[in-house]
Amino acid sequence: SAAARDRLRIAIQKSGRLAEPARALLAACGLSWRESRDRLFCYGETLPVDLLLVRDDDIPGLIADGVCDLGVVGRNVLLEQDGDRRGRGHAPAFREWRSLGFGGCRLALAVPDAWQWDGPQQLAGKRIATSYPALLSQWLAEQGVDAQVVLLSGSVEIAPRLGQAEAICDLVSSGATLVANQLKPVQTLIESEAVLAGPVDKFDDVRGELADLLLRRLDGAMRVRN
């Protein structure tokens, strides 16, 4: 883990669905920043709380490595990477600290519209495209279904039309992407939303007090919203 630091560093998504709401929520906590020229690092002005703008998929690893202290990321990403780490025999290195009430979606299994769905056993021997191999494999094992997981990092919904897979497992928000690809959701694996992620243990230096202050303000800001 990282050396003692006297500033808190929070990783948020650089661009994408969580980027703006994450920043707005932190601003509602009274934080403000001076942006650097490359705009990937924002120096905290009102409090010693800096932002690092990154790919969301990098956020759990940045916390695990102690490069960042906290992060705003989808629960789906956090659980997938935690599952992957466990599968490789690593100890947990991050956890959900707070759910943040935005970025709601679900990780769902979807099959072609034409299928008549009659349960998980229908997937036996089939190929399922996903960006969430750990969560999908875990679910398949729980169901006792032997299917092949096809790993794609994006545009998963097009895989059945391309003949790469028979089914998919991906995030569903409005459902428009599934509809556009003649797929239908048949099973939810995980309900997800944006969460504040942090290390498993509390900080044992001044970052602990900063984190406590931030959490109090976060809880206050969330109460005002709901």
Contacting residues toward ligand PRP, per CB under 6 A: 17, 154, 157, 170-177
Q: Find which of ligand PRP, Zn ion, none residue 96 binds, CB within 5 to 8 Å per kind.
A: none
* Nearer to Zn ion (CB atom), residue 57 or residue 193: 57
CA 98 – CA 20 distance, rounded (Å): 18
Nearest to 150 by CA among 158, 141, 159: 159
Q: Which residues pair with 53 in a beta bridge?
A: 12
Nearest-approach distance from CB 174 to ligand PRP, in angstroms: 3
Interface with Zn ion (CB under 5 A), residue total 2
Q: Which is nearer to ligand PRP, 101 or 185 (CB)?
A: 185
175: partner contacted, choices Zn ion, ligand PRP, none (Cβ within 5-8 A by kind): ligand PRP
123, 145 Cβ separation under 8 angstroms: yes
Nearer to ligand PRP, 22 or 29 (CB): 22
Closest separation in Å from C-beta 131 to ligand PRP = 7
Q: How far is the CB of 200 from ligand PRP (least distance, A)?
A: 27
Q: What does 121 interact with, of Zn ion, ligand PRP, none (CB < 5 to 8 A by kind)?
A: none
Give the separation between CA 186 and CA 128, rounded to whole angstroms: 13
Q: Terminal CA-to-CA distance of the chain, rounded, Å?
A: 36
Size of the chain, expressed as the number of residues it contains: 226
Give least dist CB 120 to ligand PRP, A. Answer: 21
- The greatest distance separating any two alpha carbons of the chain, rounded to the nearest whole angstrom, comes to 58
Residue 143 vs 177, nearer CB to ligand PRP = 177
From ligand PRP, Zn ion, none, interface partner of 69 (C-beta below 5 to 8 A by class): none
Pick 159 or 210: Cβ nearer ligand PRP: 159
Spell out where the chain has E strands: 8-13, 33-35, 41-44, 49-54, 70-74, 95-99, 105-112, 127-130, 148-151, 167-172, 183-192, 194-198
Instruction: Report the residue from 56, 58, 157, 166 that binds Zn ion according to the rule CB under 5 A.
Output: 56
* Token pair 């707005």 in the structure block, residue: 24
Closest separation in Å from C-beta 176 to ligand PRP: 4
Q: Tell me how far apart the alpha carbons of residues 113 and 141 are, in angstroms, rounded to a whole number.
A: 25
By CB under 5 A, name the binding residues for Zn ion: 56-57
